[in-house]
Amino acid sequence: MKTHRILGLAAVMILAAACGGKGGPEPKVAGNGTGTKPHEVVPEAKEKFDSALQAMVGHDNKADWTAASCKDVAQQFLAAVDEQKKANKPLPEGYYDAGLAYQRCGMDADAKAQFQAAIVQAPGFHRAKVQLALYDYKDKGDAALDATIQKLQDAVVEAKFQNVDALVNLAMLQMKRNGPTGQQGCSNDMECAKLNIQRALAIDDGYMPAFNQLALYYLNEAHAKAEKNDKGRKGRRGLVAAGGETEELSGQMLDLAALVCSQAIRKNAKYAPIYNTLGLIQVEQKNINNAVQAFNTARTLDPNFFAAQMNYAAVNLSFRGFDQAEAAYRQALKLRPDNYEAELGLALAIRGQINDSNWDKNLKEAQAALDRCKQLQPNRPEAYFNDAILTQEYKAKNAKSDEETIRVLTQARGMFDTFIQKAGAAPEFADAVKNAKDRQEDIDKMVTFIKQGQEEEKAAKAAAAAASAHPAASSSAAPAGSAAPAGSR
């Protein structure tokens, strides 16, 4: 049987695009001319709005949002709206910022309701249109990608190219589509994405989401160059087998991406997503120690930053920092309880810490995490592979008899069959499929060896039993050539 080692399939890195990480979109200031004219904001509304804005910025800076604080800040903005209503005047900025407050805690239904209310008050309020377009994309996925890009493009034009949030999110989705569609000044999605990021930085050279997206742009370009020589790398969900090979990325593109991160950090050292992106770049540069530090900085600045928690956990897991990985995966699961990758990573981190002192506890917890993965997404193969590993290398070792060992190993072999079936011909699982087949051969040899030992033991016992059944058979016969008793004639 193979020695106990960590081998598994897990999500390695997660990107955090323009909208990811601490804070989210910046709040809209009341009365700057986009929604409500400055002179139309009544003093009572302005006072409450400014107080709510100050509270929101404070929570953003401290990264201490809770459900209660999100609701409280949202209600403060809505109180400003109510004051404005008393003067029969609109304040769409209040609805918009209330939506952002709800959004900070993932209260999406409440957030969408406020964005819609903002548009009802001001049909041309393009910032709310951007948020609703992004929610539509979140709900419908790539089926709505083209439509969402068009909505964001419309918002950019409506804002006369002055909405940096719209520009950066448009660039993010153009990078995702990566198609031949062009606009004025660019011939395809990637060129248009870069142009829109540059437009955002020209408007606000301190807009951190634009810096982050520009760094991701160069990282994406580095992958694109490498994938020309490695077509199989582009697998579903970006999953690779532990120990699997990855492509060498373009050094020039990585250097540009790292430079953008460095410039951004000099402008704002408290923006969590830029550290997450820097960590991704440093992983590709094989600068693992600094990558761990970058991911840890991101998750420290914003403990609710899911991608940073996952990336910190993944890097630690790959270098056997199992306790750190477990803690980060558990934090990630608090943020997204139904996330498959986090549950799978947790199983591997727990398995990596199994020893004689915690054998039963960790084995049980690792199994529970894998079972949870199968419940979340039954058709994904990764959990079956890792369940087979857990069974072959840990449960079989703990068997109390040869019969139990054979039963457990046979069970593991069947799990590998299930994995191979579910993995199919997907290139990202090719190495793991080969490994599974090799392990099945090992199991077959082990089972044969155990059975041969059982047969030999059975034969030895039978021979011993036969010998003990006739212990004096040879000595009871008369000695050859002995004299006949006297008088026998």
Segment 77-86 shows an average pLDDT of 95
What band does 15 get if pLDDT is binned at 50, 70 and 90?
low
User: What is residue 137's predicted lDDT score, i.e. its pLDDT?
Assistant: 95
Higher pLDDT, 171 or 15: 171
Mind spelling out the 3-state secondary structure of the chain?
A: CCCCCCCCEEECCCCCCCCCCCCCCCCCCCCCCCCCCHHHCCHHHHHHHHHHHHHHHHHHHHCCCCHHHHHHHHHHHHHHHHHHHHCCCCCHHHHHHHHHHHHHCCCHHHHHHHHHHHHHHCCCCHHHHHHHHHHHHHHHHHHHHHHHHHHHHHHHHHCCCCCHHHHHHHHHHHHHHCCCCCECCECCHHHHHHHHHHHHHHHCCCCHHHHHHHHHHHHHHHHHHHHCCCHHHCCHHHEEECCCCCCCCCHHHHHHHHHHHHHHHHHCCCCHHHHHHHHHHHHHCCCHHHHHHHHHHHHHHCCCCHHHHHHHHHHHHHCCCHHHHHHHHHHHHHHCCCCHHHHHHHHHHHHHCCCCCCHHHHHHHHHHHHHHHHHHCCCCCHHHHHHHHHHHHHHCCCCCCHHHHHHHHHHHHHHHHHHHHHHCCCHHHHHHHHHHHHHHHHHHHHHHHHHHHHHHHHHHHHHHHHHHHCCCCCCCCCCCCCCCCCCCC
**Per-residue pLDDT at 143 exceeds 70:** yes
What band does 188 get if pLDDT is binned at 50, 70 and 90?
very high
* 429 CB-near residues (< 8 Å, 6+ apart): 9, 235, 239, 241, 381, 423
Segment 235-259 shows an average pLDDT of 62
User: What is residue 226's predicted lDDT score, i.e. its pLDDT?
Assistant: 79
Higher pLDDT, 468 or 78: 78
User: What is residue 482's predicted lDDT score, i.e. its pLDDT?
Assistant: 47
**Per-residue pLDDT at 154 exceeds 50:** yes
pLDDT tens by residue, 31-66: 554 567 777 899 999 999 999 999 999 998 888 889
**Per-residue pLDDT at 125 exceeds 50:** yes
> pTM for the full model?
0.82
What is the chain's mean pLDDT, rounded?
Answer: 87
pLDDT tens by residue, 447-481: 999 989 888 878 888 888 778 876 655 445 544 44
How many CA atoms are closer than 13 Å to the CA of 352, on its beta-carbon side?
A: 22
What band does 227 get if pLDDT is binned at 50, 70 and 90?
confident
Higher pLDDT, 414 or 241: 414
Instruction: With beta carbons less than 8 A apart as the criterion, state whether 336 and 298 touch.
Output: no
Segment 157-186 shows an average pLDDT of 94
484: left (phi over 0), alpha (psi -120 to 50) or beta: beta
User: What is residue 392's predicted lDDT score, i.e. its pLDDT?
Assistant: 94
